[in-house]
Structure 1
Amino acid sequence: MFRVRIPAASAPSSFRQLSTTAVRREEVVGTVGAVPVKRPVGGFRGGILGFLFGFSAASALSIYYLQQETKVASGLLLASVEELQQGTGKITSHLDRLQTVEKELAALKAGSAVKDDVTKVRGEMKKVYDGLHLELLDLRAHVWGVEQDLQKVVKTESIRI
């Protein structure tokens, strides 16, 4: 319990006890007319209006910030897409060149001689060369025989004359 001193005009004793219990003390206070209740200017309505204004301002700023972030992100995305398109174009051109080279290589393989073919042609050429060499030797032998016959004829003619 607490003791509080109250002025003598309102209480019979100089000390009055305060307690936290629900004891009701009835004191009659005299009033001379109605006391107007003063409300703060704006009161409850001012609080709501302030809240709404703050919420609107925060919403507007956050929307602006989100729009700016979206604009930046869209720009970055667009740049990435353009870069991807350029890369895809380069890859496509490289693939086209590779296909062209593969076609040319296949054509060269089809038209080129294989080692077996070269060996076969070399053997045939050797046979042809040997055959020509034999014919050349035969021709020389024949020409030599003709020369011998011609010399015999010339000798016999010179002897007869």
Structure 2
Amino acid sequence: MVSRILVPAARTAAAARSGLTMRSIVRGFQTSNVVRQEAATVVAPVKKPVGAFRGGLFGFLLGATASGAGMYYYVIDEYRVSNELLTEDIYALQTAVQRIEGYVRTLEEKVHSKKK
């Protein structure tokens, strides 16, 4: 429909007399040989493909390194927490021993004073 509007009426009448159809009247997009040759000479840089083995090996090493680093920080954090808990337990045990030692001293003093 649009192609009929753009084609002048004189050309349409002349084409009808010569037996040409509307489709053959409408001019298509064409390029010259020079433009095609210039476009063909532009070559994209060739990238070296990463093979499946090399990519798989790189992925494995990257994953192993990332999981190792995560595990290292997790273990260090757990070690720090357990070390703090152990230190608290040692201090609690030390205060308990000192308290028991105080009780034993008072008992010994009482026994010693009763014997005299």
For this structure pair, what is the TM-score category when the shorter chain's length is used for normalisation?
0.5 to 0.7
For 1:68 and 1:105, the matched residues in 2 are separated by 56
For 1:40 and 1:101, the matched residues in 2 are separated by 91
Q: How big is the shift at 1:43? A: 2.6
For 1:105 and 1:40, the matched residues in 2 are separated by 96
1:90 is the counterpart of 2:99:
yes
Give, as a single letter, the amino acid of the residue that structure 1 aligns with 2:74.
Y
For 1:57 and 1:41, the matched residues in 2 are separated by 21
Among 81, 94, 113, the alignment partner of 1:104 is: 113
Counterpart in the other structure of 1:61: 70
Deviations, residues 41-70 of structure 1 (Å, cap 9, x unaligned): 343111101100100000110111011001
Structure 2: 5+ residue stretches without partners: 1-47
* Correspondences of 1:1-161 after superposition (within 5 Å): 41-107=50-116
Bigger share in helix: 2
Deviations, residues 52-93 of structure 1 (Å, cap 9, x unaligned): 010000011011101100100010000000000000000001
Which of structure 1's runs of 4+ aligned residues deviate more than 3 A? none
RMSD of aligned residue pairs (Cα, Å): 1.5
Structure 1: 5+ residue stretches without partners: 1-38, 108-161
Percent identical across equivalent pairs? 33
SS at match of 1:41: coil
Give, as a single letter, the amino acid of the residue that structure 1 aligns with 2:87.
L
Q: How big is the shift at 1:40? A: 5.2
Structure with larger Rg:
1
Give, as a single letter, the amino acid of the residue that structure 2 aligns with 1:77.
L
For these two proteins, the number of residue pairs brought into alignment is 69
- Report the TM-score when normalising by structure 2: 0.56
- Report the TM-score when normalising by structure 1: 0.41
Bigger share in strand: 1
For 2:69 and 2:93, the matched residues in 1 are separated by 36
Give, as a single letter, the amino acid of the residue that structure 1 aligns with 2:90.
V
For 1:53 and 1:42, the matched residues in 2 are separated by 16
